[in-house]
């Protein structure tokens, strides 16, 4: 307090210690920065590789689509921009598939329409002479005496062949001008069982076992019972002819639900469609892969003596019901025909919306 120095405190720092501390701090920050740079490089490489891999997948699928292969999709999931792009790309591929299918159907219908007109004309021109030939042969047969067995037998052949040709002409007309279906609510299984009963004896004679796989509680479908019986009988008969040495026919009926995805302005949406799926799987000779695409074409048959109109008529009937038919086959293993028919509720809903 009186201004005199009473003591001195001396504090000193070694220059060596200060230098050493500064060097240590510099090394720490150096290695920390290097670690950060290394980590950032690893992360950048990983992200870049992941993006590059996904982009490469995009490019590969895009090249396939450009080559006309529309059976592929990009299997990328995620909520990022690439995931959204993959969803949009898959949606585009799906719509391209639908467009191709529609184009093929339009071309097919154009060909069938022209062929149908020709078939109808030919059938009408042939049917009248056939009727005259048959009636004349029947008159001759009635006039011949019982002793003239040879002549009566020849006339019987004429009548039989006339009936066969008349059946072919009827198939021509059915193909050219298919009946308009009278759609009503009907259960599929009773109609199917009734049709199977019609060929029960043939199954037994050929040692063919029928296996029924029916899903219980199926909803009804909007169908024409007579036309659908014709479809079932045709497919069952085909299976019967394919298994000349015996085998197994498996008939499966189940409910099939299909989701169709589409994209609106702000989100992805989907619609649900219910079908009744009926499949006929035989263990017969099978159809060569090169012939599969032709089985529904008119006048195509792999069976000797067949008119080649049965499956064409079946295809038309299923189309008029708003359904689909497909075929899978392996030579030596068998063939499967699959029908898809919309359930009655969906059909009614669509009509109500249209009204």
pLDDT of residue 187: 92
Answer with the residue of higher pLDDT: 12 or 287. Answer: 287
Q: Is the pLDDT of residue 199 over 60?
A: yes
The pLDDT-based confidence of 213 (bands split at 50, 70, 90) is very high
Percent of the chain with pLDDT over 70: 75
- Chain length of the chain: 355
Q: The domain at 184-354 falls in which architecture?
A: 2-Layer Sandwich (3.30)
Q: Which two tokens stand for residue 339?
A: 């029908």
Residue 144 · residue 152 · CB < 8 Å: yes
The pLDDT-based confidence of 112 (bands split at 50, 70, 90) is low
pLDDT of residue 348: 45
Give me the residue spans of the domains in the chain. 184-354
For residue 144, give Cα distances in angstroms to 135, 140, 150: 14, 6, 10
- Buried b / exposed e over 204-219, threshold 16 CB at 10 Å, is eeeebeeeeeeeeebe
pLDDT of residue 341: 92
What is the mean pLDDT of the segment spanning 223-227?
90
Angle at 263 between CA 260 and CA 265, to 5 degrees: 155
What is the mean pLDDT of the segment spanning 93-107?
76
Answer with the residue of higher pLDDT: 129 or 215. Answer: 215
pLDDT of residue 78: 63
272-293 pLDDT per residue, tens:
778 999 999 999 988 888 888 8
pLDDT of residue 268: 58
Q: Is the pLDDT of residue 340 over 90?
A: yes
């Amino acid at each position: 307090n009186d201004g005199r120095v009473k003591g001195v405190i001396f504090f000193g720092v070694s220059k060596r210690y200060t230098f050493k501390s500064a060097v240590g701090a510099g090394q720490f920050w150096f290695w920390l920065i290097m670690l950060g740079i290394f980590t950032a490089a690893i992360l950048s490489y990983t992200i870049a590789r992941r993006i590059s891999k996904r982009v490469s997948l995009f490019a590969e699928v895009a090249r396939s689509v450009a080559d006309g292969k529309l059976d592929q999709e990009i299997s990328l999931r995620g909520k990022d921009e690439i995931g959204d792009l993959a969803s949009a790309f898959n949606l585009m591929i799906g719509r391209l598939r639908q467009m191709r299918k529609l184009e093929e159907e339009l071309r097919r219908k154009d060909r069938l329409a022209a062929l149908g007109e020709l078939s109808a004309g030919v059938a009408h021109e042939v049917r009248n002479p056939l009727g005259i030939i048959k009636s004349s042969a029947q008159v001759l047969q009635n006039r011949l005496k019982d002793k003239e067995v040879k002549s009566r037998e020849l006339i019987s052949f004429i009548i039989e062949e006339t009936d066969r040709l008349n059946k072919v002409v009827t198939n021509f007309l059915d193909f050219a001008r298919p009946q308009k279906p009278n759609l009503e609510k009907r259960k599929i299984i009773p109609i199917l069982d009734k049709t199977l009963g019609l060929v029960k004896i043939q199954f037994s004679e050929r040692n063919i076992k029928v296996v029924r796989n029916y899903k219980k509680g199926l909803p009804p479908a909007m169908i024409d019972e007579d036309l659908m019986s014709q479809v079932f009988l045709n497919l069952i008969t085909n299976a019967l002819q394919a298994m000349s040495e015996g085998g197994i026919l498996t008939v499966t009926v189940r409910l099939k639900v299909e989701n169709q995805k589409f994209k609106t302005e702000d989100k992805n949406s989907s619609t649900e469609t219910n079908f009744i799926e009926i499949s006929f799987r035989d263990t017969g000779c099978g159809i060569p892969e090169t012939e599969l695409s032709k089985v529904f074409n008119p006048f195509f048959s792999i069976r000797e003596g067949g008119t080649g109109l049965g499956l064409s008529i079946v295809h038309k009937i299923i189309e008029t019901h708003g359904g689909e038919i497909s075929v899978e086959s392996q030579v030596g293993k068998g063939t499967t025909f699959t029908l898809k028919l919309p359930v009655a509720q969906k059909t009614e809903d669509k009509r109500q919306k249209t009204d």
